[in-house]
Amino acid sequence: MPKLTLKFDNAILGEVPIGSKEVSIGRSPDNALVIDNPAVSHYHARVFIEEGRMMLEDFGSMNGTFVNGQRAKMVMLKPGDSVTVGKHTIVVSDASDMDGFAPVGASVARPAAPKINETVMLDTKERREFLRKVAAVGESAQVAPARVKVATLIVRSGKTDRQEYALTDKLTVVGKSALATVKLKGWFAPKAAAQINRREDNSYYIGAADKTPSVNGNPISHPTKLSSGDVIAVAGIEMEFLLRD
């Protein structure tokens, strides 16, 4: 059965299944999903099933309802969608679809003597089959990779050895260290102020080292994914992260 999971930051505040009864969302205590926050209207929105489709309707709320970042009035929901109400997030998931995938794994690697918690491995063909099924459910992140973009750091202010850096390495160190790519100048510059990792999927994450960097003015608390246009501030320098074609 599909369900809605209410989150604030990363904390899960509640879960409501979506069945034949609609799920009302709002600040009033008689809603099925209560969000006690002044930014939320008393009767803010509802989620309901119609002709087998999961729908979201905003009741003309003051601050709006956003689905995957887009303001919505009446919109169809699918598993994986993220609904934002005020500062809270409601994640749509469909656990029942997952159960349907069991045979994929179950058909392989059954040893003669089954043991507890036996690990099962999927080979390329099985993995593809699985991903195809996920795609059929409605959404998959396994879309064909877009053209590889070149990640660049442009120094806006502060003392560095260059104005611009192409981020082609797996690890880019910002600091005074001999192994740093973005070389900081000045007596008190840290050896390694921060690091940028290029991950397997060519996404970039910034992490702390001797200093805690800020992204768009917010100090990071864990490695944070960078988007084109993000402004990084660390150890007295300010840089813009850009993805170019």
Backbone angles phi, psi at 131, to 5 degrees: -65, -35
Angle at 214 between CA 210 and CA 216, to 5 degrees: 165
Q: What would the x/- binding string for other proteins be over residues 79 to 98, using CB under 8 A? A: xx-x--------x-xxx-xx
210-234 CB burial, b ≥16 within 10 A, e <16: bbebbbeeeebeeebebeeebebbb
Contact of 31 with 14, CB cutoff 8 Å: no
Contact of 44 with 25, CB cutoff 8 Å: yes
Residues 6+ apart with CB under 8 A from 103: none
- Regarding 203 and contact with other proteins (CB under 8 A), the answer is no
Q: Which of residues 45-64 bind other proteins (CB under 8 A)?
A: none
- Regarding 144 and contact with other proteins (CB under 8 A), the answer is no
Whole-angstrom distance, CA of residue 181 vs CA of residue 176: 9
- Regarding 143 and contact with other proteins (CB under 8 A), the answer is no
Whole-angstrom distance, CA of residue 128 vs CA of residue 134: 10
Q: Of 42, 73, 87, 127, which one interacts with other proteins (CB under 8 A)?
A: 127
Q: How far is CA 143 from CA 70, 135, 138, in A?
A: 21, 9, 12
- Regarding 130 and contact with other proteins (CB under 8 A), the answer is yes
- Regarding 11 and contact with other proteins (CB under 8 A), the answer is no
Q: Which is nearer to other proteins, 49 or 134 (CB)?
A: 134
Contact of 50 with 74, CB cutoff 8 Å: no
Where does this chain touch other proteins (CB under 8 A) — which range of 17-25, 37-45, 107-115, 225-233? Answer: 107-115
Where does this chain touch other proteins (CB under 8 A) — which range of 33-41, 42-50, 175-183, 237-245? Answer: 175-183
- Regarding 218 and contact with other proteins (CB under 8 A), the answer is no
Q: Which is nearer to other proteins, 121 or 144 (CB)?
A: 121
How many chain residues touch other proteins (CB under 8 A)?
A: 58
Q: Of 13, 48, 198, 238, which one interacts with other proteins (CB under 8 A)?
A: 198
What DSSP string runs through 136-191? HHT--S-PPPPPPPEEEEEEEES-BS-SEEE--SSEEEEESSTT-SEEB-STT--S
- Regarding 120 and contact with other proteins (CB under 8 A), the answer is yes
Q: Of 101, 214, 230, 231, which one interacts with other proteins (CB under 8 A)?
A: 101
Q: Which is nearer to other proteins, 36 or 169 (CB)?
A: 169
- Positions that interact with other proteins (CB under 8 A): 5, 12, 79-80, 82, 91, 93-95, 97-98, 101-102, 104-105, 108-113, 115-124, 127, 130, 134, 137, 139-141, 168-171, 173, 177, 179, 181, 191-192, 195, 197-200, 208-210, 222-223
